[in-house]
């Protein structure tokens, strides 16, 4: 299945049916009077977050969603049938944006959340509605209301507890495959990862979801490499794990490059809790490892974990540090009243 996290769709709700002008004509009934029914309501357009989806690829092949119009009213006081609604089913974590791609209409973060995007038009009144003591035989009826037509954007931001960031070939995919059942592509060249990957990680009987995104390079905020288009998938994370390639001779510069790109993308993302780990320590001798650890700790201004995704050395300690931050964030969320469908 191909991955797609941004889609433009065109929606239109149904128009209401027109009211009916009709008069009762039956044998032996001298004063039949008006009996025109109302028009039916037009269908509405809804969006709903559902489980089991992790991409917006369906919206590449269908971009137009039009609800049905309501039927016109009929004689014998019969109301027209309502138009059928249209429901756009999207993955959990999808944002609904207005046509300007900036205004957020809704953010669907839980399965079952449902939002009205375009309300169907009301049906028009039939002439029976206009009967009064002074107008016993009205010959007028209302037309139905027009539907609403608009263009929206769907933007998916994966729901994950922890996010992996780092330069290409920092070992993010290797780490994810070592700690979860995810099987991202792994190879010895830059930009092996082209789309985000999710994996469920377990440590000490606890589980959390980790997201691996394509590596960043200097100038990613200006569109270099794969750009920063995938950083949105770690915006919802409780903590970021910044992996630094221990075999690089410029680890301090590598670290600052990623921090600079995070800050250029979003101050909120750059301010997220972050754990830094020096990766690939199995390929370093003790003297080089000690020297590079000191340099990185000086740049970070705090502790640095040592680990190897290949040999799994130091991996449990990193996972426990991630879980500590995630569990703390979850406790804070429990104080907020959950959304009710």
Give DSSP secondary structure letters for 279-336: E-GGGS-HHHHHHHHHHHHHHHTS--EE--TTT-TTHHHHHHHHHHHHHHHHHHHHTS
The Cα 186–Cα 174 span in angstroms is 7
11 and 149 in contact (C-beta within 8 Å)?
yes
What number of CA atoms fall less than 13 Å from residue 278's CA on the CB side? 28
Cα torsion 300, 304, 309, 315: sign:
negative
Give the pLDDT confidence score for residue 1 in this predicted structure: 46
137 Cα distance to chain centroid: 55
Beta bridge mates, 149: 12
Dig out the tokens for 253 from the structure: 């510069």
Binding-site annotation, residues: 166-173, 191-195, 212-215, 279-282, 308-310
Binding-site annotation, residues for Mg(2+): 173, 193
pTM, two decimals, is 0.74
- To 5 degrees, how large is the angle CA 221–CA 215–CA 184? 145
Token pair 């039009």 in the structure block, residue: 66
Question: What are the residue ranges of helices labelled H in the chain?
Answer: 58-61, 172-179, 251-265, 267-270, 286-300, 315-334
Binding-site annotation, residues for GTP: 166-173, 191-195, 212-215, 279-282, 308-310
Domains and CATH numbers, the chain: 1-156 (2.70.210.12), 162-334 (3.40.50.300)
Question: pLDDT tens digits for the chain (341 residues)?
Answer: 466 778 999 999 999 999 999 998 877 777 778 889 999 999 999 999 998 887 888 898 899 999 999 999 998 889 999 999 999 999 888 989 999 888 899 989 888 999 999 999 999 999 988 988 888 888 889 999 999 999 999 988 877 888 888 888 888 888 888 888 756 555 454 445 556 777 888 888 888 888 887 777 776 666 665 556 677 778 888 888 998 888 888 889 988 988 888 888 888 888 888 889 998 888 888 898 889 889 988 988 888 899 888 888 888 998 999 888 888 887 876 665 554 54
Residues shown for the chain: 341
The Cα 226–Cα 215 span in angstroms is 8
């Amino acid at each position: 299945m191909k991955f797609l996290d941004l889609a433009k769709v065109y929606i239109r709700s149904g128009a209401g049916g027109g009211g009916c002008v009709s008069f009762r004509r039956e044998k032996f009934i001298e004063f039949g009077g008006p009996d025109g029914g109302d028009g039916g309501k037009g269908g509405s357009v809804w969006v709903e977050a559902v489980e089991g989806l992790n991409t917006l690829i369906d919206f590449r092949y269908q971009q137009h969603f039009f609800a049905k119009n309501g039927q016109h009213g009929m004689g014998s006081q019969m109301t027209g049938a309502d138009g059928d609604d249209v429901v756009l089913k999207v993955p959990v974590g999808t944002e609904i944006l207005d046509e300007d791609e900036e205004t957020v209409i809704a953010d669907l973060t839980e399965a079952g959340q449902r939002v009205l995007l375009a309300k169907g038009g009301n049906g028009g009144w039939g002439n029976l509605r206009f009967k009064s003591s002074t107008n016993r035989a009205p010959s007028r009826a209302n037309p139905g209301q027009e539907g609403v037509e608009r263009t929206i954007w769907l933007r998916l931001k994966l729901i994950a507890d922890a996010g992996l960031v780092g330069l290409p070939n920092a070992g993010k995919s290797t780490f994810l495959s070592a700690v979860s059942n995810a099987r991202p592509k792994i190879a010895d060249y830059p930009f092996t990862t082209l789309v985000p990957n999710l994996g469920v990680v377990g440590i000490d009987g606890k589980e959390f979801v980790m997201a691996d995104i394509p590596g960043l390079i200097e100038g990613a905020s200006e569109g270099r490499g794969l750009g920063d288009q995938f950083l949105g998938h770690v915006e919802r994370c409780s903590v970021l794990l910044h992996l630094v390639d221990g075999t690089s001779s410029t680890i301090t510069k590598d670290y600052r490059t990623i921090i600079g790109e995070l800050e250029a993308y979003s101050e909120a993302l750059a301010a997220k809790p972050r754990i830094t780990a020096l990766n690939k320590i199995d390929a370093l001798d003790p003297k080089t490892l000690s020297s590079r650890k000191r340099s990185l700790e000086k740049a970070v201004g705090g502790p640095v974990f040592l680990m190897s995704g290949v040999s799994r050395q130091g991996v449990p300690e990193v996972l426990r540090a991630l879980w500590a931050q995630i569990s703390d964030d979850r406790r804070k969320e429990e104080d907020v009243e959950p959304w009710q469908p």
